[in-house]
Structures are given as structure tokens and as C-alpha cells.
Amino acid sequence: MIGVTSMNRIGRAIFVLMVSQLTPLLNGQQQPTAKELLQALDDNMVAENRVTVSTMIIHGRRGSRSIQSKSWTQGSEKAYTEYLAPARERGTKMLKVGDQLWTYSPATDRIIQIAGHMLRQSVMGSDLSYEDMMEDQTLSEMYSPEIVGSEPVDGRDCWILELTAKNPGITYHSRRVWIDKERNIALKETRYAASGKLLKEALVKEVFQVEGRWYPKHMTFKDMLSTGEGTEFIVDSIDFNAEIPDYIFTKAVLRR
Amino acid sequence: MLLFKLAFRNVIGAGLRTWLNVVVLSLSFVTIIGMQGLYKGMQYQSEDAMIRVEYAGGQYWHPKYDPYDPFTLEESHQPVTGAARRAVEAGDAIPILITQATIYPQGRVSSALLKGIPPEQEIMEFPSEQLLRTDHAIPALIGTRMAKANRLAVGDYLTVRWRDANGTFDAQDVQIVHIFSTIVGSVDGGQIWVPLQHLQSMLKMPGEATLITLKQEISEPPVLPGWDYKGMDILMADLREMVASKQVGGSIMYFLLLFLALLAIFDTQVLSIWRRKKEMGTLMALGLTRRQLIGLFTIEGGMYGILAALLGAIYGTPLIVWFATHGWEMPEMVDDFGFAMGSKLVPSYSFFLVLGSTLLVLLTVTIVSFLPTRRIAKLEPTDALRGKLT
């Protein structure tokens, strides 16, 4: 009996060992490469043309305020945003073409180019700075990815992708992105300084499917060095590959 | 001489009326001289402090550096080479590197200037040696204004975020190792001082600087190719303009006081001429010409000024000397004036300042005394004797 039992145990151990040795190989067949994952993420997020109506909720020390805006985006280089509400911000416009950014304020009827130090200022008091909006390269272009593990985020199984800047001059030296294994959408992202200090965190709270792709519906963006509650972004509506006339991305549109 | 004697007798004889005029005018004297001395003292004190603490023998700026335009900081840095390096190595100059940074005191977001200074320097009267007394990776030095504004204390850690030479974000905690107190706000407010080599390494700008401060003892500033020399006339221009503008603002008060005194003298003169018609007629009958009569009344007016100067000197001199010795305690709010002023403001009085102010008041008093006497030019002796003034 003892001998039979021992044999069974040995046999079971060998089976377990074989399976454990085989599992990575099986997984390897299913697991996409880090580059493929990042490319899929870029493909999902960047559209040829995109028209979005969104609401930004800024949580400050003296309470919260909501700002609604409509944005026209072409690839990752051109973007035009017009603020719709509240009345105080209505008519404020922002145009980004390549590495240049202008804002227009109806109160002063002036167009101001945001450059240099001004790029570090926050957009409408949010946790987002103008320079966060100036990134005009896709993640694949800027970073070398590496899969460092997998972890669930809000119950969804995610790959953890570590991104390291390919070249000096990239705003954030490294990032960590949690990508939904099924939907190719980042559910969480952390951005780091060259020293490794955590600077910013983006957390997707709700996603929705539009025109066959998954897109963040509700997310929070937080400056991790400050004690604020962060800024929420809610996508009210989005239209991929919408027709956007060329004049939208000219400075003349700011005064229209 | 006769006219002077006569004028003096008349002035003294007028009694209380004279002394009222003299007292009011002497107040103007003392106030004008006192205020001028205060402004001069303010300027000297500020300039002296700024030279000792910040400017020393002048500064060499990177050609693109503009202290009033933070946009220029990103491009205002270059390696310290050639003649500049030799000057630094000889101990005649110190390089300073400046960059914009974001700080997070108690989790709040705020902007600051991050300045790198060689800790062992002795050119500026600045406690940079405190940066040597720590084991912390990045020791930092701040002023009392900066500490107060951001509620920071010695030993506190402060998160600082900056962009390196390539534009990549970096962030570290610095430790406040010392809080210095200075009257020069331009090295304090919104600024964090760290060792130069640390900052060069943090910004990936080895051996680079934004400006070079020259030793004070060097009389002839050398030419450093690639750097623009800024002498005291440029570095102090803002301070001097500010003092001048404050002086204009302050002068309104003492001109108002002077105006009141002059008005009283003018009024006294008009009244004298009106009441002393018969006296004028008698003097003319005794042989005084109209010109001499005008002279007499003008001298009488001018004597108010002389008496006021004497009275002002009696009580003003000890007052001014006391202030010049002990200084004037300043309230805390002067920190916000933008001047390098200490807790005490010591006025500065020069001989020429006192002489100039006295002559100015005497001249004004004489002119004001002369103006009403012009009516005497038309005076007929017979009319005057009858008490008529045509």
C-alpha cells in the first residue's frame, strides 16, 4: 500500500512538475508582446479624427466645479477645444498644433501663446498642466515597453506594462500602465520622474464601447505630489472619425 | 544795513504773529530735511545690503537671462569656461545656476526658483556654508520670508519638482538645513538655495551657470566672453527708481506743510502792507525809495525763513541726530515694500542735503514775501500818508 501510495505521489508530482513547466509556454503562445500591447493601446486611443464633448470636475480646496468642453482632435498633433460651460468659462478656446499652444479668452479678446514656464501652469485649475496636453507622440513612439506582470484593476484582469523613455527630453521618464487583457484599454496609469518619484496617476473608473472600441468614460487624473483630490474627466459623447473641416485647426478659429 | 535792522525790529515787534509763522515754517524745515534724510538713508541702507548679500562687485549674466522674465531661465545657462572659469578658480567670482521649480509644501502646489551656489563661497555675505553641514542628499537653504509663506522649518523635507536640461521631469525631497534672515528680499522670497554641484547634477547641466557674481574688491571688472557684465548702475536701477518714486509720493506731504507756511507768510505780508500804509508813507517822506520799501518788506518776509531755520535747528538738530544714531523701528510690513530694509531704518543726513533744503525754503519764502509788495511800486507818498492804497 505504502509503495503504491508512494508511486501515486511521485506520479502526481511529476505531472504537476510537467504542467508547471508547460504553463509558461502555453501562456507564451497567448501572451502578446509588450510592443504589441502598447501598439494596440495606441491604436485604440488615437483616432484619425475625434469629436468629444466632455466634463471636467475639478476638486479644489474650496469645493468642486465642473467645466464642460467640446474638443476636435486630429491624430495626436492637432486639437481644438472650446469651453461650453459654466458661463464664466464659456467661449474660452484652446488650440494645439504640433508643439504650439494658444488660448483665447473672450473676456480680454486676446490670443495668448502658451510657452515656456506657462506650460507648467494647470489647465483651468485642474491637475492637468498644459504640458500634459502637449504630448503629440504616441506611447509607442516615446517609450520602450516591458511587461512586468499582471494584476486585476476594478475586477478586470490587466497586463502591467512598464514604459521607459527611449530618448531624453520625454516629459515623464517612465510610466506604468495597466492594460485590460481583453479590451486593449488602460485602466490605470502612473507617471514617474527620472528619480523614480511618482508624479501623476490616472485611474479609469468607467469604460464604454463606441464604434467597436473601448474608451474611458470616466477617469480621474491626480498630481500625486499634492494633497488635492484630483480632477475627474467624464466623456459625455464621442464621435470617432467625424468630419473635421481644416479651418478648425487654424488660429482664426479662436476668434470666431 | 539800515533796512535789515529796521526789518528785524519790525519782525520781532510783531510778536505772536511772527512766532506763529516761524513755528509753522520751522516745522516744514524739519519735516523736509527729516524726510529727505529718511529716503537717502533708505537708499544707502538698501544698496549697502544688496551689495553685501547679493551683488558684491557686480554680476555677469548669461546673455538671455532676464530676472524679471522666468521664460528666459530655460535657455539662460552655459558652461563656465575660459576667463570666467579662471576667475572662479582664482576666487574672484562665483557661478550661480538658477531654474524654475514647483514645490509642494504641505501638499500645496507653488512655484519657486531653485538656485545653486557654491557652499564654500565667501564673496556674498550669505550663509551658504550651512549647506555643508548635512548628510542629506540635497540640503536646502531658505529665507525667513520663504519659510513663513510656506510654513517651513529647519529639518522639514520639501518635495521639489523640476525639469532637467532635456525637459524631463524630475522630483526629489530636499531638506531645509537652515533658515536665514536677511533684509534683502531678492535672495529670499520664493527661492530655495542648494549646493551648486547638486543643482548642476539635478538639471544635467554639469559646470554650467546662469550668472557669475564678482568679488567686491575688484575695481576693474574683467571682460568675460559670453557673459554680459551688469554694474551697480544697472543692478541698482530699480531700487533707485523705487526710492525716487517713494520720494515723490512722500514729498506731497511736506510740500503741503510748506504750502501752509508760505500761505501764512503771504497772508501776513498782505496784511502788513494794508495796515502799515501810513508807516510806508512816512518812510517815503523820510527819503526811502519805493525799491527800498519793497526791499524792507521782502527782507521782513525773508526773516521769517531765517528765524524758522534757527528755531528748526534748535529743536530739529537733536531730533535728527537721535534718529540718525538710533534709527527708526520699522513695522514688519516693510518686508512687502520690495526694499532691502532692516528692522531699523537709519536716516542719512549730509551737509549738502541740509544746506540745499534750507536754501530752497529760504528762496521760496523770499519769493512769497516779495509777491505782495509789488503793490508798493504804485504807491503815492501822499496817498500813503492819508492811509490810502491805490
Per-residue pLDDT tens for A58-94? 887 778 889 999 999 887 778 899 999 898 889 899 8
State residue B333's pLDDT score. 53
> From residue B225, how far is each of A29, B60, B62, B78, B83 by CA, in Å?
64, 10, 10, 12, 7
Residues A141 and A21 in one domain: no
Same domain, A219 and A105: yes
Residues A18 and A76 in one domain: no
Å from B69 to nearest chain A CA? 10
Could B104 and A226 be called an inter-chain contact, meaning their C-beta atoms sit closer than 8 Å? yes
Structural domains of chain A, count = 2
Cell of B378: 504804485
Q: Quote the CA–CA distance of A131 and A122 in Å, as a whole number.
A: 9
pTM beyond cutoff 0.80 = no
| B169: nearest CA partner in chain A | A193
Q: Please tell me whether residues A18 and A140 are part of one structural domain.
A: no
A169 chain-B contacts, CB cut-off 8 A: 166-168
Judged by CB atoms within 8 Å, which residues 314-343 of B form the interface with A? none
- The whole-angstrom separation of Cα B146 and Cα B111 is 11
Judge whether A34 lies within some domain: no
Q: Which residues of B touch A228 (CB under 8 A)?
A: 107
The answer to whether B251 touches B348, Cβ cutoff 8 Å, is: no
pLDDT tens digits, one per residue of A3-56: 433 434 444 443 333 333 333 333 444 678 999 999 988 888 877 788 999 999
Contact status, residue A97 vs residue A113, Cβ threshold 8 Å: no
A128 in the same domain as A220: yes
The cell numbers describing A146, all together, are 516591458
Residue A86 lies in a domain: yes
Asked if the peptide bond before residue B63 counts as cis, ω within 30 degrees of 0, the response is: no
Same-domain status, A14 and A56: no
CA distance B362 to B168: 68
Chain B residues whose beta carbon lies within 8 Å of the beta carbon of residue A172: 168-169
Note the ipTM here.
Answer: 0.74
How many other β-carbons are positioned within 10 Å of the β-carbon of residue B6? Answer: 16
pLDDT digits (tens, 9 = 90+) for B184-205: 888 998 999 999 999 999 999 9
Note the pLDDT tens digit of each residue in B110-159.
889 999 999 999 999 999 999 987 666 789 999 999 999 999 999 999 99
For residues A74 and A115, membership in a common domain is answered with yes
The secondary element (H helix, E strand) that includes residue A2 is helix A2-30
| Binding-face residues of A in 148-177 toward B, CB within 8 A | 165, 168-173
User: What is the mean pLDDT of the segment spanning B96-115?
Assistant: 91
Cite the DSSP H helix spans in B230-276: 232-235, 237-275
**A199 CB near a chain B CB, below 8 Å?**
yes
Query: Residue A18 sits in which domain range?
Result: 2-27
CB within 8 Å of B170: residues ≥ 6 apart: A173, A193, A194, A195, A197, B161, B162, B163, B164, B202
Nearest of B173, B231, B161, B243 to residue B203 by alpha carbon: B161
Please check whether residue A33 lies inside any domain of the structure: no
Tens digit of each residue's pLDDT (9 = 90 or more) over B333-370? 555 555 556 667 788 887 887 888 888 888 888 888 88
